[in-house]
Structure 1
């Protein structure tokens, strides 16, 4: 190196040292609060705060109000915030990489001038006032959100890390799904059979390349304490959420659980639980059921009678008989509410075995029908009493009570509400039978194996539709968009933003006295909202 070059190098080093020494150090970025970001995810993806308050925004200039899921940011900007250009409307990329840098020229038609980088304050102004960082008024399709102080902090915390961390259960190579099933105790064999069916469905999906090159994995937590006779000591659903699963599928349940609150808070969908008594959910519940619960069937029974025999229903009494407990009271309440909604006379309610049946009165003034829900012993008592007096009174009951030993010779007196499809509505189980043989799975508790198969099929379909950038919110949206999906083992499944029961209806069925099998005695009866 020459002496001149050496002096030049010394001079550059000296100048750089002076400049660096005088330069004011940049303030370290404020760390993102993980809890606040988690709560902000609920606002961004589901349009609801962690405290259950719906997100509210207004579309300019008419101030059209949007609330809840339709106001969720992810609805337009996508789960990763990268925007889209579909439907003729360009939605900008709002990920930190896009907003955190200045722009020297416009991109497409999203902005008509260059702009500086967004600061926290500028981003909040865009969200609440509809003004860009350069002062331009944002388009009319961008809601002006109403946020309190907590919601502002939470949404900004999530936006600062948007796209950096995927939802739980998502990795570059796997999608991890959970199931809360009994693996021990009296119901252990049933839970193990259901888990084997779900894993076999996942194995076939993985053999075909997985879901956008991600393999499906199933994690099962033993839920024997919550579905068996033992008292509740553990909550498998909570353990699964703590382990970090994307969603739950084919979990077994008798009814609502305390962990349903955590499912809602996390926004993690539970897809087609093996509900022992059917199911129902609020419009914004994360639980999607295959079949309606018993109170819904009571409503359907009233609707069916009203359609076919409304004049008689206005003159004759309808009796609701049950064996008590929460299930029985819910059955009676549903029938009473449906009658009131149609401005029909309220039903007479009886509880067995505490109250006696008015058989003498029924002999002279037979009721139009009796809606029964409860134990098999209670149904046996009711049918034997009618048989002893040879009373021509129709009994309607859930199909779970279609037990040949209970019905006996009273097959002509009782019709069962059956939502799984009979006759022309009966599913063709040929593919399911071939599936079981391919995976060397023996028939066991067939109803639950079929339910697990349907649940896994629905999950795979919804994940495929959600795309490579799947989130819990986008998975829920795709479940809501499912229409007439063929599970292969049930009538077609349809969900909706306000519909969490996939099969909205049933048929009336009777027990064949020679085969002991249910046969249809009516066409399909749709369940009205």
Structure 2
């Protein structure tokens, strides 16, 4: 996070330090000395994300108060740009720090740079600049330039990367193509759905390529089979794609956290709108961007809605959470408890089914039941409630809106969905025309719609990135998307601290005759 009271201009002095560090490399090693490729790879993470591969954040101190900046805020790419070409940050001109610009003396001033003309750095003057904030010309560098704390290994890694900055393209980038990957099930039970999703991704990219590609580069898709198989020493599909050298991943199937997530983060490779059928959530600095919130977030939304409409009752009566005792149910319950605690509301009653009935049922009717169990247990619970507490509201995730499960129940049953209904429902005319034009038949709708949204978002971010595309620049453009219309979902917005595009949902009822969800509330924004 940005330090309180420190505007973005405080990073404006960082370019001078990078000149210093890069020139130190020149003073310490002959220009012809071979670089360790592993050092350069690790230095890339320092430059682009402000963190070492060992998990240590880049730290700089702002003179004279020595205000600390760390991590992503201090990342070089934030000011200089992912390719190191320079920018203007908070009104301060940030220079080009590619090798062609760094490794030469500057005989005259460039723009409004405080360092102005300077000789080539020697080892001593470079070290003085790092520790004392003085340039090779003897000028006192701007107080906006952090004095960075780098150990010997981090210094070697950053300098190795600066040596090749802007001269070696990121994985998946060539003069004629941009290669992206998708980890999808191509065999097994979900094989048909995975193949349908891959077909949609390719069709979107075919349309882009027919119009000339993205800045004259064709989009190419590589798919690795992500079918669940017996335990194997073989890396998972995401890791295999990273090893093949893709720029980003798009529309991959996501069943939950993966061992390869650490590698995604280390390499800064974006994963754009994975097909997470129960939604998702990410850390603020994660490269994974989701379309919809996960089910625990919907549980929080349910509590927020109940508190806004029935807070007096919530303070007098219990709120029941029913689940099956699995990890998903435990996560749902924790979210409810956390939101109730945050609002200083009474403790909940927890039912673990099926053994929780009737022993744990509260003596007086609860305000509502928040259900996150299996479809098989929902029917018996509804029948039990219908006989004993028919007026109790039941709230459940939309994945459980199955006519064969609910039957003829007359309970006050409402489903939580972030997909958009009524006035929030996306018009699917463009998508339907797209499917017909490419000869694609409707199949597993959730996979096909999710793949279409993912491809649209990726293409938009790549287009905004420009010709000098890198993984880091793609991440920055994804973070900048605001109210983007995918054509198949509510508008999505991302940000530096926001990795879920749609933040909110609606209550809905199930129309038995059609099996469709019908809106039962206005759009409910999800509070942080």
Fold conserved (TM > 0.5)?
yes
Summarize the Cα distance change of 1:281–1:369 in structure 2 as closer, same or farther, 3 Å threshold.
Answer: same
Paired residue for 1:186?
189
Paired residue for 1:449?
448
Summarize the Cα distance change of 1:120–1:372 in structure 2 as closer, same or farther, 3 Å threshold.
Answer: farther
Contact 1:179 1:248 in 2 (8 A): yes
Summarize the Cα distance change of 1:270–1:120 in structure 2 as closer, same or farther, 3 Å threshold.
Answer: farther
Query: Within the alignment, does 1:474 sit opposite 2:500 as a pair?
Result: no
Give matches, 1:417-436, under 5 Å: 417-436=416-435
Partner secondary structure for residue 225 of structure 1: coil
Partner secondary structure for residue 228 of structure 2: helix
Deviations 1:199-249 (A, max 9, x none): 1111111222211111111110001026xxx54664000100001111111
Paired residue for 2:375?
376
Contact 2:115 2:139 in 1 (8 A): no
Distance 1:112 1:393 in 2: 71
Give matches, 1:149-168, under 5 Å: 149-168=152-171
Summarize the Cα distance change of 1:84–1:321 in structure 2 as closer, same or farther, 3 Å threshold.
Answer: same
Deviations 1:354-400 (A, max 9, x none): 322359x66x6110000000210111111111123352111100000
Contact 1:323 1:373 in 2 (8 A): yes
Tell me whether 388-397 or 459-468 shows the greater mean CA deviation: 388-397
Out of 54, 57, 60, which is 2:57 matched to?
54
Query: Within the alignment, does 1:211 sit opposite 2:214 as a pair?
Result: yes
Partner secondary structure for residue 400 of structure 1: helix
Deviations 1:67-105 (A, max 9, x none): 221211111111121212466321112111112122332
TM-score by length of 2: 0.90
Paired residue for 2:24?
none
Partner secondary structure for residue 514 of structure 1: coil
Summarize the Cα distance change of 1:177–1:118 in structure 2 as closer, same or farther, 3 Å threshold.
Answer: farther
Paired residue for 2:269?
268
Contact 2:201 2:455 in 1 (8 A): yes
Paired residue for 2:516?
517
Summarize the Cα distance change of 1:384–1:412 in structure 2 as closer, same or farther, 3 Å threshold.
Answer: closer
Tell me whether 209-218 or 128-137 shows the greater mean CA deviation: 128-137
Unpaired segments ≥5 residues, structure 2: 1-28
1:431 positional shift: 0.7
Contact 1:40 1:156 in 2 (8 A): yes
Distance 1:435 1:509 in 2: 28
Deviations 1:253-290 (A, max 9, x none): 21111111111111111110001221111111111111
Tell me whether 425-434 or 84-93 shows the greater mean CA deviation: 84-93
Summarize the Cα distance change of 1:130–1:474 in structure 2 as closer, same or farther, 3 Å threshold.
Answer: farther
Deviations 1:139-185 (A, max 9, x none): 33332222222211111111122112111111111111110000111
Contact 2:392 2:411 in 1 (8 A): no
Paired residue for 1:3?
none
Distance 2:343 2:232 in 1: 40
Paired residue for 1:486?
485
Deviations 1:433-458 (A, max 9, x none): 11111111111101110000000111
Partner secondary structure for residue 93 of structure 2: coil
Contact 1:225 1:232 in 2 (8 A): no
Distance 1:112 1:293 in 2: 49
Contact 2:365 2:389 in 1 (8 A): no
Task: Choose 1 or 2 for highest CA Rg.
Answer: 1
1:63 positional shift: 3.1
Contact 2:370 2:394 in 1 (8 A): yes
Distance 2:391 2:504 in 1: 27
Give matches, 1:491-510, under 5 Å: 491-510=490-509
Summarize the Cα distance change of 1:119–1:488 in structure 2 as closer, same or farther, 3 Å threshold.
Answer: farther
Number of residues paired by the alignment? 499
Paired residue for 1:195?
198
Contact 2:493 2:501 in 1 (8 A): yes
Contact 1:174 1:216 in 2 (8 A): yes
Unpaired segments ≥5 residues, structure 1: 1-25
Paired residue for 1:142?
145
Query: Within the alignment, does 1:102 sit opposite 2:112 as a pair?
Result: no
RMSD: 2.0
1:407 positional shift: 1.1
Give matches, 1:320-359, under 5 Å: 320-358=321-359
Summarize the Cα distance change of 1:166–1:122 in structure 2 as closer, same or farther, 3 Å threshold.
Answer: farther
Distance 1:121 1:201 in 2: 55
1:127 positional shift: 4.8
Contact 2:47 2:75 in 1 (8 A): yes
Paired residue for 2:294?
293
Distance 1:411 1:251 in 2: 39
1:114 positional shift: 3.6
Give matches, 1:114-153, under 5 Å: 114-119=117-122, 122-123=125-126, 125-127=128-130, 129-153=132-156
